[in-house]
Structure formats: structure tokens, C-alpha cells
Amino acid sequence: MNKHKLALVVAVAAASLSARAAVERVEVIERVPFAAGVAFREAGAYEKIRGVAHYALDPKLKANQAIADLKHAKRDARGRVVFSSEFILLRPTGAQPSTLLYDVNNRGGIAIMGQVNGRSPVNNDPTSAADAGDGFLMRHGFSLLFSAWTWDVAPQPAGARPLVFAPPVASGIKGKVQNEFTVNAPTDIVTYAGMRGLTYEPATPEDPHAQLTARARPDDKRRAIPRSSWHFVAPEQKGGPGRVQLEGGFKPDTIYELSYVAKDPYVTGAGLAGIRDLLAYFRDQPFEGAATPRNVLMFGISQSGRVIGRMLHDGLNLDESGRMVFNGAYLQVPGAGGSAGFNSRFAQPTRHPSMLEEHDYPADAFPFTTAPSRDPASGKTASYLDKARDQQGNAPKLIFANTSTEFWNRGASLIATTPDGARDVAPADNVRIYGFMGAQHYVGRSRTRAPFTACVSTSDHYLPMRALIVALDDWTVKGKQPPASAYPQIADGTLTTVADYRAIFPKGFGLTPPEQNLRQPRLIGDAIPPKHGDDFETRVPTPDADGNDRGGVRLVELQAPLGTHTGWNLRAPETGFAWATSRFDGSFVPFARTEAERVAAGDPRPSLERRYASRDDYVAAVRAAAERQVAAGLLLPEDVERTMTENVGLYDRILARDPADQGCSYLYAQ
């Protein structure tokens, strides 16, 4: 082929790609030095670019047909659905290509910097050196990208800058919407939207046909509350969620549900397509004087991790040309993986089921496993990645990491077992699964027991997170294998039933395990409320003689233990639902300091005095555990001293604490 024909082929190919590119243009509205030009070691100085990406989606394209209600949205003269989203980019100012790490924001807020760098940016607007925390992600040279993807973000204080998406609207469509809520104390007026969120409001103001019901447990029959005894109340602030007032007041120990007809659902899935197309744009386009990235990764925590799961489940990790838009993704505490929700009519992204709450809202659905598995109830065999592979059969490299709490409250066992919980299903070759045992959904920070019965768990799983982010980058760029999967399994006895857990768990030191965990709801059809099939079977980690979970990633806190760390924490009776657990929190109860104290308290667990002859012995045990974690690739050498300081500091505070003090402040350095 001569050079003129080659040039023509290249030009036609480029035009074809351009025609299918869903980002039409990007406008830059702010470009300033980040952290006042501070140099982050070899990565150097960073800059912040704030902009707006403008999208156009053709509903007829196969790549866009998974987006619920896109075909019902308003179109431009060319038949496309157009919308935009704000984004923020933090990147090194040097010319060297870096890894672009997209952080899926959580309810409008930047999530990764708080947990990984140790500091959430003030007002959700990363600006100062203090906003960089310890600078971990910058020191390792990552470019960080954030954008708006969801609409249901409640108004925030003046000065805050949440990333809020204005999605297309499927005008003219009506449907029933339900809003479940509870209260921790008696009150006359309550907001009925989900956590820190918004909901669809009634299509008819003061809807006379709206229904308010009450029940004691999720599966109980709903009891209707007379329409004459309650009424709608205006939002507390403009643009905020609606409220409802009940004669005699709302009370703890009751699940309330408000339902009515709403109209004009948002095309919520367009937010996921926007993430897809923004990543494709940055993957391919040199931007504002910088080369294209050497690598593209995604990261999400909790809700944000489940967004990644839904994108994979719907094939929205592939651009309109069928190419992968990210090479790897880290799903942190996603529970059962997030294969439902976020992309359906009248979706409320902030809602999700846990042991007590919101069992009628989709969050996870079969298939859960990344290798094929069979659902005995439906007879179907499928995998989580069936739609996530490109035309060559490639799928992104994935890391799933859950804490003990997700096994109790978010169905985490399902990502590695059959749907009936009968046997293990090994992850696909491109997937690693980790269970951070003894940790809770986020590192504990409460200094009080209320509204729960025990102090929270402070196990620091943010440190292995840091190691695994670096490992994912090395895996996708260099082909270097990450640490082997480490999670509780049925075959080795580290994953079990709640009944067995309760039988094995030690007694007599102040913690009584819950009667149940979340059995993942199986939702059938689109009715409101939906029909339920038999729940998916979920399992929990097996405890050892101290009550600490076996299997999985052995955090330093479990290798050199100072007490019992669980993934569950029971609700205080005065808040209602004493049978249920906290949605996100675990428990910690220290060992007795001495054998004499242990015997006097009737505690079956050996004392600190028995375990560690002296403070020096404990320090040595922690350092040895940290070195084992480094060797396993689950702790970076730069974080050894941090884990030493955290664990030895807690040892000192336990020894200085009066055992009669039931407060939780001793967990934290003053």
C-alpha cells in the first residue's frame, strides 16, 4: 500500500472513531497549581484542571442500548441525547505519561483521598497541600480524575462543591416510587429520601393517593397508616428532599414506607455512560499539553465500587467502538459486587440493602462470580464478566476487597460461592479477591458506643489498600502478579453459616453475635414493591477462639491481636431493631490487661499479660507481623512505621485505661 492510500485509510479510521466518540467537546473552566506547587518527590508538582465534558449518545448504537430509558430522552436534531458533567483532574505538571486513576465519587464526594491519602479535600475542592493529606497518590505519580455521575445528592453546606450530575429525562413516563425510612428516636417530621440523598417527589403535590405503611421487620406484612393522619411537608431547604409529618410521631423499631406515583424519571444510566466516555476521551486524546496516559484504572469505595460492578455487568466498560476504557479496577467494600441498581427506571442510587434496611431496592443480582457459576433457582449459568469482555475476549484486571462487615451486611460471600452458598467458585484469572478480616466498612472513628452496643473496630485496612493500588498498576502496566487472593472459603472451613459462627464464638466477654446476616434479596420483576424469590444464601467468616475472623488477609491487628475485632455491631435497644446490626460498623473489645483481671471478669480469652510478656515483646510481635505483610505484598515498606505507631499506641492506651470505663475514647490518640 502506498503512502497516499495509507494516509486515506488512517483518515477514514480517525473519522470513524470521531463519529462514534460520545464526548463531543471538553471545556476547561479552571487551571491552577495544586497544593501551591509543592513537589511530591519524583512526581514533582501537580496542577488542578476543572472542566465540563459535553456528551452525545446515539440510542440506536448497540453500545448504548443497555442504558435504561435512553431511547425515551429528548434528542437533538441529529437524533442524539446530549448532556454534560463537571470533572476535576489532578495531574503532574511534568511531561512524563502517568497512570490515570478515575475515582468514582460517592454521593457527590471525592472518596479516594480521604481513605488512601488520609485527608478528604475541604469542600470537596482539592486545592491546598493540606488537602493532599500525606500525598501518597501524588508521590506515586497517579493522575486523579473525578466527575459527576449521579443526581441524587442532597444540598450541602455553603461553599461545598459536590459533583452532581444533571442527567437526561425520560419525559412523560409515570411510575410508582417507594421510599423506606426508619428513625433512631421519636420525631414528628422526617425526611423520606435515602442516605444523604434525594428521591423522586410525587407527580401530584400532596398526592391524596399516596400511601404510608409500617412494619416491624423487612419481610413483615405492611400495615397501612390512614391518609388522614399524615401529610407532606416542604423540604427543610430549597432543593432538598421532601419530608412527611405523622400525627403522634414516628417511632423507633418500625420500618416506614412512603409510596406514590412520580413522573419523568432520570436516565440515571447516562451517568455511567458518561464515565465510560470520559475515560475513552482521556485514554485517546492528549489533553492541555500532556500526553495520553500510560494506563487507565478505576477505583470505587462502597457505592462507588458497586457503580464499577454495574458498568461491568452491563458492558459499559467498553466504549462505542468496543474497546476497554480502563485496564484495571479496584472495587473496595462492594459487598456482592454491585451487579444491579444505578441503571433502571426511577433508580435511587443512594439506596442499598443491608440486614435491616431497603430489601426492596436492587443492588446485587445473579451472576455474582467472575468465573461461570450456576443458579439452581433459575437454572442459568453465567458470570459477572459475560458482557465486560472486548471482541478479543479480554476483560479488565480486577481487585475486589471486602471487610468482615460486608460478609454480615452486604452479601460479600457471593462473589466467590455458588448462589446457594454450597461451594466455592474460584475467581477468574484476571481477578483477585481479598477479605480484610476484623475490619469494618471504613476505619472506625466513633468515640461513643451509641447508637450501637459496642465500641467500633479500628483495624486499619487502608494500609493494604495502598499496597493493592500500586499492585494493580504494576499488574496492568508491567504484568507483575499481585498478591494471591486471600478470602474466607468453604473448603478450608474459614467461611461458615451464622449458626456455626454463633456456636463457635467465645462467650462471657460482652459480645453476643447477631442472629442473622443479610441474606441477599432475590428481586423478581419491576413491580413496586417488587416480588421476592428465595433469598440468595450468604456466609460469614469463621471465628477463632478469640472471636477474630479466620482466613482472608491477616491484618497486623489480627496477627498481633489486642482484642476481638468483629465485622458486626448490634444496634442499641433504644434506637430500635435490637436484633439488627449497624450498617457499616464492627466491634472491638480489648483483652484483659492481666490474668487477674481476666479471671475476675470471667473473660475466656487469654490476657495481654499472658500473650506478651512485656511491651517490648508486643512491639516485636507487631514488627514481625508488619514484615510478613510487606513480604506478602499487602503492606508497603513506607507504611511499616505507621502501623507500628497505630498498634503500639493502642497497646499503651489499653494498659493505661481503667477497665471500668465503658467509653471508647481510648481507641484514639488524643
Tell me the sheet residues that pair with 489.
none
Query: What's the confidence (pLDDT) of residue 12?
Result: 33
Grid cell for residue 590: 480489648
Q: How many whole angstroms separate alpha carbon 196 and alpha carbon 177?
A: 18
Length of the chain: 670
Grid cell for residue 271: 451517568
Q: How many whole angstroms separate alpha carbon 362 and alpha carbon 139?
A: 39
Check residue 460 and report its DSSP letter.
-
User: Is-contact 107 271, C-beta < 8 A?
Assistant: no
What percent of the chain is modeled with pLDDT above 90? 95
When pLDDT is averaged across residues 598-615 and rounded to a whole number, the result is 98
User: Is-contact 109 14, C-beta < 8 A?
Assistant: no
Q: Which residues make Cβ contacts (< 8 Å) with residue 414, sequence separation at least 6?
A: 336, 337, 364, 368, 369, 421, 520, 536, 538
Q: How many whole angstroms separate alpha carbon 439 and alpha carbon 462?
A: 10
Tell me the sheet residues that pair with 616.
none
160 vs 528, more confident: 160
Spatial CA neighbour of 67 closest among 52, 54, 78, 83: 83
Task: List pLDDT tens digits, range 546-568.
Answer: 999 999 999 999 999 999 999 99
When pLDDT is averaged across residues 287-303 and rounded to a whole number, the result is 96
When pLDDT is averaged across residues 301-308 and rounded to a whole number, the result is 98
Q: How many whole angstroms separate alpha carbon 593 and alpha carbon 91?
A: 49
Buried b / exposed e over 564-595, threshold 16 CB at 10 Å, is: bbbbbbbbbeebbbebbbbbbbbbbbbbbbee
Q: How many whole angstroms separate alpha carbon 516 and alpha carbon 537?
A: 12
Task: List pLDDT tens digits, range 349-376.
Answer: 999 999 999 999 999 999 999 999 999 9
- Answer whether residue 625 shows pLDDT above 80: yes
pLDDT confidence bin for 537, thresholds 50/70/90:
very high
Task: List pLDDT tens digits, range 107-143.
Answer: 999 999 999 999 999 999 999 999 999 999 999 999 9
C-alpha distance from residue 248 to each of 184, 251, 400, 585 (Å): 16, 9, 46, 32
Concatenated DSSP letters of 309-360: HHHHHTTTTB-TTS-BS-SEEEEES-TT---SSSSSTT--TT----SSS-TT
Question: Angle, nearest 10°, between helix axes 269-284 and 303-313?
Answer: 80
Query: What's the confidence (pLDDT) of residue 21?
Result: 64
When pLDDT is averaged across residues 389-397 and rounded to a whole number, the result is 97
The gap from C-alpha 97 to its chain's centroid, in whole angstroms, comes to 29
- Whole-number average pLDDT of the chain: 95
Q: Which residues make Cβ contacts (< 8 Å) with residue 91, sequence separation at least 6?
A: 46, 47, 49, 98, 143, 144, 290
When pLDDT is averaged across residues 326-351 and rounded to a whole number, the result is 96
- Answer whether residue 535 shows pLDDT above 70: yes
Query: What's the confidence (pLDDT) of residue 7?
Result: 36
Query: What's the confidence (pLDDT) of residue 17?
Result: 42
Query: What's the confidence (pLDDT) of residue 115?
Result: 98
- Answer whether residue 34 shows pLDDT above 90: yes
User: Is-contact 430 329, C-beta < 8 A?
Assistant: no
Task: List pLDDT tens digits, range 464-474.
Answer: 999 999 999 99
Q: With the C-alpha atoms ordered 605, 611, 614, 615, is the resulting torsion angle positive or negative?
A: negative
Tell me the sheet residues that pair with 606.
none
Q: How many whole angstroms separate alpha carbon 183 and alpha carbon 575?
A: 8
Tell me the sheet residues that pair with 34.
46
Q: How many whole angstroms separate alpha carbon 446 and alpha carbon 569?
A: 12
Spatial CA neighbour of 62 closest among 344, 314, 382, 345: 314
pLDDT confidence bin for 94, thresholds 50/70/90:
confident
Query: What's the confidence (pLDDT) of residue 178?
Result: 97
Query: Which region among 85-89, 244-248, 339-343, 435-439 has the lowest average model confidence (pLDDT)?
Result: 339-343
Please state whether the peptide bond connecting residue 514 to the residue before it is cis, i.e. omega within 30 degrees of 0: no
Query: What's the confidence (pLDDT) of residue 529?
Result: 86
When pLDDT is averaged across residues 19-36 and rounded to a whole number, the result is 89
Task: List pLDDT tens digits, range 251-293.
Answer: 999 999 999 999 999 999 999 999 999 999 999 999 999 999 9
By CB neighbour count within 10 A (0-12 exposed, 13-18 middle, 19+ buried), where does 545 fall?
exposed
Spatial CA neighbour of 443 closest among 197, 645, 129, 667: 667
- Answer whether residue 3 shows pLDDT above 50: no
Query: What's the confidence (pLDDT) of residue 5?
Result: 38
Query: What's the confidence (pLDDT) of residue 268?
Result: 98
The gap from C-alpha 513 to its chain's centroid, in whole angstroms, comes to 24
Q: How many whole angstroms separate alpha carbon 73 and alpha carbon 159?
A: 32
Query: What's the confidence (pLDDT) of residue 526?
Result: 80
